[in-house]
Amino acid sequence: MSETLELHLVVNGETVRRRVRVRQSLADFLREDLGLTGTRVGCEHGVCGACTLRIDGAIARSCLVFAAQVDGAHVETIEGLSDSGEIADLQAAFRARNALQCGYCTAGVLVTAAELLRAERAPSRAEIRELLSGNYCRCTGYHAIVDAVEQVCRLRVAQG
């Protein structure tokens, strides 16, 4: 039982060892200790979705997880998803369709929307909106985001 802890995890495929304060959120750990500032911190109580990332393959709010909890886990941030090319088509569609303006929410939106790209059928616009209902965007009005996600999902399904 202590106030710091030796952390050993994998972030975007790289092994990381750090001593962390146990009350530091995963979002703050990534941003401040690892310099991975793509993960945004908005409301810091799980409402806005800006800090969404993957823990062991499942999306989660990194403001609602302490860094101490991901000891031994695989964490993927927007930097990892960008570098791997996994969502390159989605990112291109966001750009082409003006699905971002200030960009603050975009990383969280992309990580969340990527869940739909793994499905075998194209989701309806209602399904896209439902999945993204936990990601707030104050710029776009959401239509362009839904357009971009819908287009990429359809293309992916068409391409098998």
By CB under 8 A, name the binding residues for another protein. Answer: 1-3, 5, 11, 14, 16, 21-25, 28, 32-36, 44-46, 49, 52, 58-61, 63-66, 68-69, 71, 112, 115, 129-131, 133-134
In the complex, what is the shortest distance from the CB of residue 96 to another protein, in angstroms, rounded to a whole number? 26
Tokens read off for 93: 């569609």
Min dist. Cβ of residue 87 to another protein (A): 16
- Nearest Cα to 87, choosing from 136, 14, 148? 148
Residue 14, classed as helix, strand or coil, is: strand
Q: Which is nearer to another protein, 4 or 98 (CB)?
A: 4
In the bound state with another protein, the residue whose beta carbon lies nearer, of 100 and 132, is 132
Minimum gap (Å) between residue 60 Cβ and another protein: 5
Beta pairing class for 58-61 and 52-55? antiparallel
- Minimum distance, C-beta of residue 154 to another protein, in the bound complex (Å): 21
For the beta sheet containing 4-11, the strands, ordered from the edge strand earlier in sequence to the opposite edge, are: 14-21, 4-11, 74-76, 52-55, 58-61
**Alpha carbon distances (Å) from 141 to 70, 81, 101, 136, 144:** 34, 25, 10, 10, 8
Q: How far is the CB of 83 from another protein (least distance, A)?
A: 13
| Residue number with CB closer to another protein (95 or 141) | 141
Query: Closer to another protein at the Cβ: 23 or 95?
Result: 23
Task: Decide whether 126 or 158 has the Cβ nearer to another protein.
Answer: 126
Sequence-ordered list of residues with C-beta below 8 angstroms from that of 160, at least 6 positions apart, any chain: none
